[in-house]
């Protein structure tokens, strides 16, 4: 039975929502009834500069369409400003139900030529920015026994991409953050998921042919965000989306092989590496403990 996703009564914060994907997220949530904090520093793709005008323009769109929204120009790297943003939402609307961590920058360069300051800055915005925002809303979500947190990962983190060691490291770190927060938040009905979008934004200009960029309209990613932000959202899912196609990514564990710790263990492992990495029967562990459990089980089986 078709039941439209309804966000009436919900309060959402979307970071990096002054343009591109974040703007589409904010517009979609507002169109379905959510009150939205449109956060955007208003800086360049590399993070330089800043002006709240971009966020305000999106707010104006939402209000003109009959929705409720407020602009916020906090940098997600500024802990105090992020906390003030969350307080602003709570003071105005009494709760915060949804956080879409979308803010990000690029400082692309091959690893050999990468300035460490650029590496740290990308980690600071993508990873620590999401940490700051999520930690600021977490106690509110715990108190109201409801929360939906969306972390924006990337295929560059999941699978790698030349020239994006900093970006890829930050994006994969967000998957690790999701894995633990989804466990810790479950008892408070806080569901934490990752969205891996493929979309034509300022970050992808000039990287793909025009017809491909048109197919990768950011609006085509929005259904995945809505699913991860809704009341019926899954928990601990990496949902990929682009051009109207949706996939799920998983971190899996193979069955493995008990080799032991004898003097030739390294040589034996190398000789049997194909069996160790064989994906037949692989599992998606429900927690980190699954690895140790598998290893001890294999050792005990080898003694029988």
Active-site residue list: 167
Element spanning 138, H or E = helix 129-144
Count the alpha carbons within 13 Å of 295 in the hemisphere toward its beta carbon.
Answer: 7
The secondary structure of 230-246 as a DSSP string is: STT--SS-EEEEETTEE
Determine the Cα–Cα distance for residues 47 and 49; give it in Å rounded to an integer.
7
Identify each DSSP E strand in 206-272 by its residue range.
238-242, 245-249
Q: What angle do CA 133, 72, 178 make, to 5 degrees?
A: 20
B/e letters for 185-212, b = 16+ CB within 10 Å, e = fewer, are beebebbbbbbbbbbbbebbeeeeeeee
Q: Looking at the DSSP assignment, which residues form a beta bridge with residue 191? A: 148
Do 98 and 10 contact (CB within 8 A), yes or no? yes
Decide: helix, strand or coil at residue 70.
Answer: strand
What separation, in Å, do the N-terminal and C-terminal C-alpha atoms of the chain show? Answer: 52
Q: How many residues does the chain have?
A: 304
Identify how many contiguous H helices and E strands the chain contains and give both numbers: 12, 8
Determine the Cα–Cα distance for residues 179 and 236; give it in Å rounded to an integer.
6
User: Of the candidates 77, 61, 86, 84, which has an alpha carbon nearest to the alpha carbon of residue 147?
Assistant: 86
Structure tokens at 162: 């030349």
């Amino acid at each position: 039975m078709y039941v439209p996703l309804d966000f009436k009564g919900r309060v959402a914060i979307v970071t990096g929502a002054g343009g591109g994907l974040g703007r589409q997220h904010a517009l979609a949530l507002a169109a379905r009834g959510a009150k939205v904090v449109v956060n955007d520093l208003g800086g360049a793709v590399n993070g330089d500069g800043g002006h709240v005008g971009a966020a305000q323009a999106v707010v104006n769109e939402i209000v003109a369409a009959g929705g409720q929204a407020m602009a916020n120009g906090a940098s997600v790297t500024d802990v105090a400003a992020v906390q003030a943003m969350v307080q602003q939402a709570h003071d105005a609307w009494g709760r915060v139900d949804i956080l879409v961590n979308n803010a990000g920058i690029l400082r692309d360069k091959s690893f050999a030529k990468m300035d460490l300051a650029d590496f740290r800055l990308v980690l600071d915005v993508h990873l620590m920015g999401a940490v700051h925002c999520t930690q600021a809303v977490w106690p509110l979500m715990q108190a109201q026994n409801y929360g939906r947190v969306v972390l924006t990962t990337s295929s560059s983190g999941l699978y790698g991409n030349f020239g994006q060691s900093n970006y890829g490291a930050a994006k994969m770190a967000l998957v690790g953050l999701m894995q633990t927060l989804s466990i810790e938040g479950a008892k408070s009905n806080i569901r934490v998921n990752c969205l891996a979008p493929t979309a034509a934004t300022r970050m992808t200009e000039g990287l793909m042919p025009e017809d491909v960029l048109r197919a990768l309209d950011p609006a085509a990613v929005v259904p995945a965000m809505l699913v991860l932000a809704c009341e019926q959202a899954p928990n601990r899912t990496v949902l990929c989306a682009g051009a109207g196609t949706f996939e799920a990514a998983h971190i899996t564990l193979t069955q493995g092989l008990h080799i032991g710790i004898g003097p030739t263990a390294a040589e034996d492992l190398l000789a049997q590496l194909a069996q160790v990495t064989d994906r037949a029967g692989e599992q998606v562990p429900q927690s980190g403990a699954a690895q140790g459990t598998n290893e001890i089980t294999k050792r005990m089986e080898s003694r029988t």
